Structure 1
């Protein structure tokens, strides 16, 4: 064993912690919570690797490196100060990209400081270890293999057939360590039982040791994109005392991939050191119940708790009083104004509904007191979506023979000839079914969304980068134009798919798409993005509006502030170029340098876009705290004053800058944008929105949704309300779902039958 090789602990502090809601949230994940004792999990981790904590001969810890989220900077400082780790270094991630980019950044920072041969001990900051001396002995054992250039992982001898962990198969003995024969993803119960019975497998604890130079070489060989992006992020970093803020744009381009998938499962020269140390990943309330001290009825209690005739339960109250009478095998957790009740056996399921739980607390406080006046009209839309539209489009709208979503249906609800399939429509439908899954629709929503994603990724990405514009019905590219508008909707789809499923692949594609946009379509001179490749004029506000929508959705799905930085730049462009402050209106068309075009296009104003921008600015304001009241009020005032037909009460397609009608027809999407903006305005305290909502709801059902079979629509009607189009375009379902999503978020208890 090496006697004098110091070990640098690297704490990974970027987890989201949704499995332990409500104590652990995106804003305050579990590493910052005291769940297993009076100290936070991060404090426990720091205590195990203090320079003065090593109790094993030959083991010496250096000051730690902490890799965490930039949004948690103050909390990280507080944890380090409380632990006395004042000499720790911090690497702040502008967005989460999983463990491989985080480890790459830490290794490169050591290399930069001349510590390329330094041993790194990679530690999740949210685990529990009961037997710390056993852990220290295992670290000392691992040093021999690590200094010889091996990648070392620590394995936990399994105590039961756990299906929530990955497994490591041990190979030939290497002293007190073993060669790794195989990494195995989380198995089913029967396979896990076989692994445990064989005695050849350990649980993968996600703890590693290697030289900085060894992991850099391995990443160079096996995951060069990760290493290159991390190197660029470090090169462009903002450096402050003891903290490095990685460059946001460069780090966002890193593939979101774990170190297991990027390196450990692919490389040779991998060793495992088995160690029985009372380890837990603290991944469920059941795990916490097992860790914490129990009374004679096997209950675990924290806070002001009364347990009467209660057994084998975890009861946690961080405020108030929780009483449990005559129950068993439950986790009851009160944190703030949120309460969780689940069986201990089912507590792993908290993660699967995490996004719905987030949505339940997502809307900001409303200034209005009468939102219930919206409920009856809201129930009409939610019932129509759940009972008619989603079943119809999940069936007829998906091409079971060739794959892909259909571009349109006939007015009888049956498939018809498709001249093309636009990428934006494929993306919009992925969004629809991802949102349907999160709403709890009882159809196969997530399965359809995943199938749509597979089709999109397989057919739509061009060999030289970027998403194609159109496919034929066979899935072949027939128009290779790469349009910024299309890319915005792909990003929206990927955000919602990740939100619904946790798919890292979806996030990887989002990073790839943003990188392509930055490299090819970004206008570094005038701001924003160009229309397309090949480029065309005039430039439009519309692609940027939907990019803003997608970036806010990516933030909501990940809580990564790099997306808010991008959103902020688009809103800056809106304020500088798109919004005409003197008239309170939104310009639509521009020259190459963002000067408005002349003629009718220069005077064109679309009321639907006024509503849509107002809604997005409200969401932007809620997330960044940047006031948008002036712009929201001006946009909605103009659209309300000039955008509504006196004849049928529908919203016009377009007017001029003085409010004169340019197009007296009425697209359905204009109505949905007005409706959800009316709800938003009521939340902001604007009066009389419920009556306007009811009036427009009646007009929509009279003119647009008055068609059989239910679940279809007339996409456009003329001034008299007569349908114009022959077919039903799939693209409009996205607009209807954005409305229903907002309604469901606020009126989840509304009737959905009828």
Structure 2
């Protein structure tokens, strides 16, 4: 049976300011009703499969778990990478885990941040590919190209084999525009989708043959794992020593057993705001609007308003994306340079590159409403039954005012219940905790004051989420 392996790492910097390091594009709802991660898992309904395995970094573990829980999606484990080492090691971790579970399944490797519009065509290609994967072939899926794209790698097909598949003649790097047009005219090239299907054991055999250093590092990392609920933590020191390489370079370009199966499914890697504009429904002026937007004499544009009214006048071929703490305005043809903005933000150590003003936590979320040098105001939402860690702060005091719901508060040696319009004060250095004992969300306003207000000024004593 097929074991889906969903690769949920990556930062998605080309979709800033919606995508941030702590909440990248795979966790965003960009098209339709579900996040890209949820859509990736839900499109598997047409395939007989085991619960998917997910690979992500430690920072995103609660986002993955919560998004699966919200849609009642089971999983075969969430493997946490202590550092990013590209796709070849990540897939190796999944393969070793499958074999540890006595499960030499067909691994269907999928990216969590791809969009597929024709689910039936996707499933049909997977069924066709499984015939070849069962015989020991390493199958890659080639997207039938619709345009001479220069942002994708290409796969050149070789001889036809049974079951609508071809041998792989060559993997080609991203071409220039003239070369891409030649590929399209030739008809023997596909876009490299980054999706694969192969047996766990066969992948490891090929990896061991061509990149024994990666194989050995991943084998060592998986020999010393720790499991915590859905999470699987590998040996940090061993994995940090693993070389960084993609599955294409490490295995697929070296093996003699590569097969490509064409896939014509309305695929997009949603690699830019212009790519998202292309797949969205548009009005008679060629505009795609999200949120509260007013437009006059505006054409061929993508406007996404997350928090405020956005009004545009007399614009053509632009992208405008508004969030609570940042606004992007760009020519649609120049959006690939968004990554340069992110690099500048990172170099300046600005928070806008890393996280949103509204930050999700396993217990709920908080929104940093206002701040200055010695105070910060947050709106905190706690899910029913959830509890924040038992903690204290060395440099700040906190005032909590309940807006709605019921709060169970530990404040030093006292435990009290607070309801709407009631408040408490927590001095510097006092051990405290916050819990929602009710059946509806708890909302409160927190005012922090002190000489240092960073998130790292937290000493945790007890925590339901393994952070103590």
Which residue does 1:250 correspond to in 2? 238
SS at match of 1:203: strand
1:22 alignment partner, SS class: coil
Distance 1:363 1:66, change over 3 A: closer
Q: Aligned-pair distance for 1:368?
A: 7.6
Partner of 2:431: none
| Aligned partner (choices 213, 228, 236) of residue 201 of structure 2 | 213
- Provide Cα deviations, 1:460-486, integer angstroms capped at 9, x if missing partner: xxxxxxxxxxxxxxxxxxxxxxxxxxx
Change (3 A) 1:88 1:307: farther
SS of 1:320's equivalent in the other structure is: coil
Shift of 1:321: 0.7
Which of the pair is proportionally richer in helix? 1
**Aligned equivalent of 1:290:** 278
Deviation at 1:623, TM superposition (A): 7.5
Counterpart in the other structure of 1:169: 156
Q: Say yes or no: does 1:313 pair with 2:301.
A: yes
Assess if the C-alpha contact under 8 Å between 1:332 and 1:341 holds in 2: yes
Alpha-carbon distance in 1 for matches of 2:157, 2:340: 32
CA contact (8 A) 1:46 1:83 kept: no
Distance 1:344 1:363, change over 3 A: closer
Q: Superposition pairs for residues 261-300 of structure 1, below 5 Å?
A: 261-300=249-288
Quote the Cα distance in structure 2 between the aligned partners of 1:22 and 1:88.
32
Secondary structure of 2:350 counterpart: coil
| Counterpart in the other structure of 2:423 | none
Contact 1:8/1:120 (<8 A) preserved: yes
Residue 86 (1) aligns with residue 92 (2): no
Q: Is the Cα–Cα contact under 8 Å of residues 225 and 232 in structure 2 kept in the other structure?
A: yes
Q: Matched residues in 1 for 2:173 and 2:201: separation? A: 27
Q: Distance in 2 between matches of 1:328 and 1:361?
A: 33
1:35 alignment partner in structure 2: 30
Bigger relative contact order, structure 1 or 2, given CA contacts below 8 A and separation 6+?
A: 2
Shift in Å at residue 46 of structure 1?
0.8
Could you say which residue in structure 1 is the equivalent of 2:140? 153
The 8 Å contact of residues 299 and 315 in structure 2, kept in 1 or not, is answered as yes
What SS does the aligned partner of 1:178 have? strand
Provide TM-score, normalisation by structure 1: 0.47
1:367 aligns with 2:354: no
Which is strand-richer, 1 or 2?
Answer: 2
**Shift of residue 23, structure 1, vs aligned partner:** 0.4
Q: Could you tell me which of 40, 50, 62 is aligned with 1:45?
A: 40
Cα distance in 2 between the residues matched to 1:185 and 1:113: 36
**Residue by residue, what CA displacement relative to the aligned partner does 1:550-593 show, whole Å, maximum 9, x if unpaired?**
xxxxxxxxxxxxxxxxxxxxxxxxxxxxxxxxxxxxxxxxxxxx
Q: Distance in 2 between matches of 1:87 and 1:352?
A: 36
Secondary structure of 1:319's counterpart equals coil
Equivalent residue in structure 2 for 1:18, among 13, 18, 21? 13
Larger radius of gyration: 1
Counterpart of 1:133 (choices 113, 116, 120) is: 120
Q: What is the Cα deviation at residue 357 of structure 1?
A: 3.1
Q: Which residue of 2 aligns with 1:203?
A: 191
1:95 aligns with 83
The 8 Å contact of residues 80 and 234 in structure 2, kept in 1 or not, is answered as yes
The count of aligned residue pairs is 365
Q: Provide Cα deviations, 1:236-265, integer angstroms capped at 9, x if missing partner.
A: 221123321112111111112111111111
Alpha-carbon deviation of 1:363?
Answer: 6.0
How far apart, CA to CA, are the structure 1 residues paired with 2:183 and 2:325? Answer: 43
What are the within-5 Å matches in structure 2 for residues 417-496 of structure 1? none
Q: How does 1:595-744 map to 2 (within 5 A)?
A: 624-625=456-457
2:210 is aligned to 222
Question: Within 5 A, what are the aligned runs for 1:545-624?
Answer: 624=456
Please tell me whether residue 111 in structure 1 is matched to residue 117 in structure 2: no
CA contact (8 A) 1:80 1:88 kept: no
> What are structure 1's unaligned runs of at least 5 residues?
1-5, 370-617, 628-754
The answer on whether the counterparts of 1:37 and 1:292 sit within 8 Å (CA) in structure 2 is no
**CA shift in 2, pair 1:623/1:257, >3 Å:** farther
RMSD: 2.0
Aligned equivalents of 2:17, 2:103: Cα separation in 1: 41
> Residues 268 and 310 (structure 1 numbering): CA distance in 2 closer, same or farther, change over 3 Å?
same
Residue 324 of structure 2 is matched in structure 1 by 336
